[in-house]
Structure 1
Amino acid sequence: MIMSELCGLCTRCLRFLLPSPPPLPRRRLFASTTSSVSLGNKKDKKEKVVVISGPTGSGKTRLALELAKRLNGEIISADSVQVYRGLDVGSAKPSPSERREVPHHLIDILHPSEDYSVGQFFEDARQATRDILDNGRVPVVAGGTGLYLRWFICGKPDVPKASPDIVSEAYSELAELQKNEDWDEAVKLVVKAGDPKAQFLAANDWYRLRRSLEIIKASGSPPSAFQVPFDSFKEELGTSLTEDSQNVHSSLDVSEEVKPKDLDYEFICFFLSSPRLDLYRSIDYRCEDMLSGTDGILSEAKWLLDTGLLPNSNSATRAIGYRQAMEYLLKCRQQGGRSSAGEFYAFLSEFQKASRNFAKRQMTWFRNEHIYHWLDASKPLEKVLNFIYNAYHDQTGTLVVPESLRMKKDISNEREILQLKTYRPKNRHFVSRNDCSDILDWIRSQGEVVNSVV
């Protein structure tokens, strides 16, 4: 694994600065048809933390930025790619000007050759939360990495920390297999050591495989043997739902009626999404935008390759967009720095498809995270901000989501289901063969530079 530090990197990307809406009024926003969530006993006051999540391309970054301005807040990124320096375009990282407007945490803290774990995120994000609250400001946690947010809210499993000797031992046992890219043999080694669930890890997730081996060596048990706070949360939630469901009006979303009472903070959580067809279209356009210009995601993928990293070899290079872009550029290099328009469009299609599938997985994940209120991102931003702002300041103990803002979790419309099944991307920028000529020229120029060096 390449551990060299990044030197002299200068990445640039186009950003569009959106005008800030006027200050929000402090009026209450209710509607006659609602879904509600109990926020617990008003006498037992907890410090408030706002969480904004949503699938890729849903607009959560902009929403969090505008909300933080109004709440005198600071943003904690819950994005597993934004932690890496140099990966700006593909992670839709807030621009430098946006980060000057509102303080951001957990952005640009690692070189892409380093791995970042959910456990480390928990420690870093909780520390940032404490610091923000102690400074009299409001923590706004924003991102779409589901496991990061689950641990952040519910707590992390009580898994023993391995000693430096054990860490070194586990690394040594897997190092040669990783160097030879022998994933299957490495999995067999960890399964034999005592973790049968290692076979279900994502291919080439060497960090988690190595961490599993460390836990086994440190405790004699696999990771699955340790209690996970989220499991207790689910049990409490399930019991409360069973007890309350008979007394709930049929127009309410029963799955959102309760919150666990033993969380460290009062988490006010929102999941921002759009009608699925609109979201998919937005994602496709977003992928095109990331490829426009000479400083887009392809340039960042080239830099990753130039540092010695390979696609799908660690956390950063497994990220959606970067993996596909690195694989495409490697193919171009193997062809002497050449690419046809057809090869470019095949790459673009794969990039878009992977991004849509990722958004679909995010929605599936958060559908089962009952602490979130689903909001319709297609509604005017001012209206959504108004609601969240008032929800934060609400003192009644009940958060009321107007029907006009609520986004359904499931697709029940047969017409929409059929449209999704027959969905095909319709690009805005890359339509004809000539539309990608600048990118093909750039790829050719990069190949010529490599050949001249050789």
Structure 2
Amino acid sequence: MSCGLGLRAWGLRLVSTAERPLPRCPTLSFSRRRTLATCCTLDLKQKRKKEKVLVISGPTGAGKSRLALELAKRLNGEIISADSVQVYRGLDIGSAKPSLSDRKEVPHHLVDILHPSEEYSVGQFFEDARQATREILENGRVPIVVGGTGLYLRWYIYGKPEVPKASPEIASEVYSELMNLQRDGDWDAAVRLVVDAGDPKAQYLASNDWYRLRRSLEIIKSSGSPPSAFQVPYDSFKEQINSKMSDHDDSFSADTLGENLSEDLDYDFICFFLSSPRLDLYRLIDLRCEDMLMGRDGILAEATWLLDTGLLPNSNSATRAIGYRQAMEYLVKCRQQQGHSSAQDFYAFLSEFQKSSRNFAKRQITWFRNELIYHWLDASRPLEKILNFIFDAYHDQTGNVVVPESLNFKKDISSHREISELKAYRTKNRHFVRREDCYVILDWIRRTQTMEVVH
């Protein structure tokens, strides 16, 4: 069950203790005037209503986009995408981007705003998403932030570090230092350069993440310190939680304290994490990967377009995205073989695509398990019941968010049976089962990728 009730009650008890009536007297001592001022401040803080923002997250394949769309229709809302791939034009299938008809029915923000060759950072997302939030609220509508990119949502809710922006001169200097190394593909040498400059954590960056490597060097040259030297607002909230936990008995859970600390945030964030039993989620993900390969305009066609623009797999944010990286690597291999691919090669690619997608969902669940502001909901329950619950939670004036047992989803796997079933899990395809099931795709590859090699 959600801890929201205990939390809000605890918060109210603190206020009520501070607001005990003071005795009437003609003159007040300095200490009593000070106490009265404190009481008035607390009273004003209680009366000051913060604007509400809904946040819907969950692992890939959980159905959060559909839920957000239906919520927006009911609440007169607009959707802000918190998906690091949906920002790119042309990457529609692999990112499960909302359809044009859905976007026409409900306004969507931060979708199709960049070409795949461009980089997009969490800091830029913070600025763009907060601006969109303000505009939506000013228009009298409800902001609904939806996506599964954990760092995007963490910064959006808690704030971004005050890291200095590089001057044009420093940005140009850094570009010059790394340009030749990037052109030659010498990632290891570039990492050593940045580590020697003062950022030992650069060695842990994802391979070929040239944007973050450049940004790290820019920060060092601008401030003399590495990015890790700057306080992250979320870490401050975590420190407060640890402090509160040490000051109270076991009845105050981390979840309770996490939600209570949200009172210091810019908005009244009402956050939900939508998930399904792990086995069901894995099956859905596997089938969705298959679906993305169907038809002429599937993820392979989008990966072909990325290659045709001159991008290489795993070379920037867009080409590192799950699905696109695997598809591009597979097609590069096909092109090297003059458009030839065996059924075995295709099924190896599909298996890697499915496995990477499942692992990504697992990482998302692990990440959000530690995000204390979210209420977990069972995606396997009827959509109408989930919609009604969130609708009522948004309009509730008491501040209590209590997830009913029928909708509550447990964060941790406690059943030995479920653990055993997960270990024994094997993919069961729906479309690609026999060798001949992929012949249409292999023929498409032979025709399209051979042409690209010839030209």
Same fold (TM > 0.5):
yes
* Rounded Cα–Cα distance in structure 2 between residues aligned with 1:411 and 1:269: 22
Q: Which residue of 2 aligns with 1:54?
A: 58
Is the 8 Å Cα contact of residues 84 and 112 (structure 1) preserved in structure 2?
A: yes
Q: Which residue of 1 aligns with 2:24?
A: none
Pair 1:152-2:156 in alignment: yes
* Rounded Cα–Cα distance in structure 1 between residues aligned with 2:261 and 2:401: 11
Q: Which residue of 2 aligns with 1:182?
A: 186
1:115 to 119, 124, 128: 119
SS at match of 1:58: coil
2:282 to 258, 262, 280: 280
Is the 8 Å Cα contact of residues 241 and 254 (structure 1) preserved in structure 2?
A: no
Task: Please tell me the residue identity of whatever aligns with 1:438.
Answer: V
Structure 1 residues 253 and 123: CA distance shift in structure 2, 3 A: closer
* Rounded Cα–Cα distance in structure 2 between residues aligned with 1:245 and 1:382: 39
Q: Which residue of 1 aligns with 2:15?
A: none
SS at match of 2:437: helix
Aligned Cα root-mean-square deviation (Å): 1.6
Deviations 1:290-311 (A, max 9, x none): 0011110000000000000000
Compute the displacement of 1:227 (Å). 1.0
Deviations 1:238-274 (A, max 9, x none): 33344455445x9x96576633321000000001000
Compute the displacement of 1:123 (Å). 0.3
Compute the displacement of 1:449 (Å). 2.0
Q: Which residue of 2 aligns with 1:356?
A: 358
SS at match of 2:154: helix
* Rounded Cα–Cα distance in structure 1 between residues aligned with 2:258 and 2:128: 29
Task: Please tell me the residue identity of whatever aligns with 1:208.
Answer: R
Task: Please tell me the residue identity of whatever aligns with 2:396.
Answer: D
1:196 to 195, 200, 221: 200
Deviations 1:111-162 (A, max 9, x none): 0000000000000000000000000000000000000000000000000010
Compute the displacement of 1:452 (Å). 4.6
Structure 1 residues 388 and 242: CA distance shift in structure 2, 3 A: farther
1:227 to 227, 231, 250: 231
Pair 1:165-2:130 in alignment: no
* Rounded Cα–Cα distance in structure 2 between residues aligned with 1:255 and 1:341: 54
Compute the displacement of 1:397 (Å). 1.8
* Rounded Cα–Cα distance in structure 2 between residues aligned with 1:288 and 1:42: 51
SS at match of 2:55: strand
Is the 8 Å Cα contact of residues 161 and 232 (structure 2) preserved in structure 1?
A: yes
Range that drifts further, 253-262 or 127-136:
253-262
1:371 to 346, 370, 373: 373
Is the 8 Å Cα contact of residues 241 and 258 (structure 1) preserved in structure 2?
A: no
Compute the displacement of 1:283 (Å). 0.3
Unaligned stretches of 5+ residues in structure 1: 1-32
Pair 1:137-2:105 in alignment: no
Task: Please tell me the residue identity of whatever aligns with 2:209.
Answer: D
Is the 8 Å Cα contact of residues 313 and 329 (structure 2) preserved in structure 1?
A: yes
Q: Which residue of 2 aligns with 1:419?
A: 421
* Rounded Cα–Cα distance in structure 1 between residues aligned with 2:160 and 2:258: 23
Compute the displacement of 1:400 (Å). 0.8
* Rounded Cα–Cα distance in structure 1 between residues aligned with 2:396 and 2:245: 24
Compute the displacement of 1:398 (Å). 1.4
* Rounded Cα–Cα distance in structure 1 between residues aligned with 2:262 and 2:117: 38
Task: Please tell me the residue identity of whatever aligns with 1:357.
Answer: N
* Rounded Cα–Cα distance in structure 1 between residues aligned with 2:257 and 2:420: 27
Structure 1 length-normalised TM: 0.90
Q: Which residue of 2 aligns with 1:323?
A: 325
Compute the displacement of 1:344 (Å). 0.3
Structure 1 or 2, whichever has the larger Rg, is 2
* Rounded Cα–Cα distance in structure 1 between residues aligned with 2:257 and 2:135: 33
Greater RCO (CA < 8 Å, at least 6 residues apart)? 1
* Rounded Cα–Cα distance in structure 1 between residues aligned with 2:169 and 2:390: 48
Unaligned stretches of 5+ residues in structure 2: 12-44
Deviations 1:31-54 (A, max 9, x none): xx6542546675231000000000
Is the 8 Å Cα contact of residues 2 and 401 (structure 2) preserved in structure 1?
A: no
Compute the displacement of 1:382 (Å). 0.5
Q: Which residue of 2 aligns with 1:16?
A: none
* Rounded Cα–Cα distance in structure 1 between residues aligned with 2:403 and 2:444: 49
Q: Which residue of 2 aligns with 1:334?
A: 336
Is the 8 Å Cα contact of residues 375 and 407 (structure 1) preserved in structure 2?
A: yes
Superposition map of 1:215-294 within 5 A? 215-243=219-247, 245-247=249-251, 258-294=260-296
SS at match of 1:261: helix
Is the 8 Å Cα contact of residues 244 and 257 (structure 2) preserved in structure 1?
A: no
SS at match of 1:375: strand
SS at match of 1:271: strand
* Rounded Cα–Cα distance in structure 2 between residues aligned with 1:392 and 1:344: 47
Q: Which residue of 2 aligns with 1:207?
A: 211
* Rounded Cα–Cα distance in structure 2 between residues aligned with 1:197 and 1:451: 40
1:79 to 80, 83, 86: 83
Identity of aligned residues (%): 75
SS at match of 2:290: helix
Structure 2 length-normalised TM: 0.89
* Rounded Cα–Cα distance in structure 2 between residues aligned with 1:179 and 1:275: 45
Is the 8 Å Cα contact of residues 293 and 300 (structure 2) preserved in structure 1?
A: yes
SS at match of 2:264: coil
Name whichever structure is richer in helix by fraction: 2
Q: Which residue of 2 aligns with 1:12?
A: none
Structure 1 residues 212 and 239: CA distance shift in structure 2, 3 A: same
Is the 8 Å Cα contact of residues 35 and 403 (structure 1) preserved in structure 2?
A: no
Is the 8 Å Cα contact of residues 255 and 373 (structure 2) preserved in structure 1?
A: no
Task: Please tell me the residue identity of whatever aligns with 1:230.
Answer: Y
Structure 1 residues 444 and 245: CA distance shift in structure 2, 3 A: farther
1:305 to 304, 307, 310: 307
SS at match of 1:400: coil
Task: Please tell me the residue identity of whatever aligns with 2:114.
Answer: L
* Rounded Cα–Cα distance in structure 1 between residues aligned with 2:373 and 2:2: 16
Structure 1 residues 47 and 189: CA distance shift in structure 2, 3 A: same
Alignment length (residue pairs): 419
Compute the displacement of 1:237 (Å). 2.4
SS at match of 2:182: helix
SS at match of 1:51: strand
Task: Please tell me the residue identity of whatever aligns with 1:373.
Answer: H
* Rounded Cα–Cα distance in structure 2 between residues aligned with 1:141 and 1:188: 38
Q: Which residue of 1 aligns with 2:443?
A: 441
Q: Which residue of 2 aligns with 1:101?
A: 105
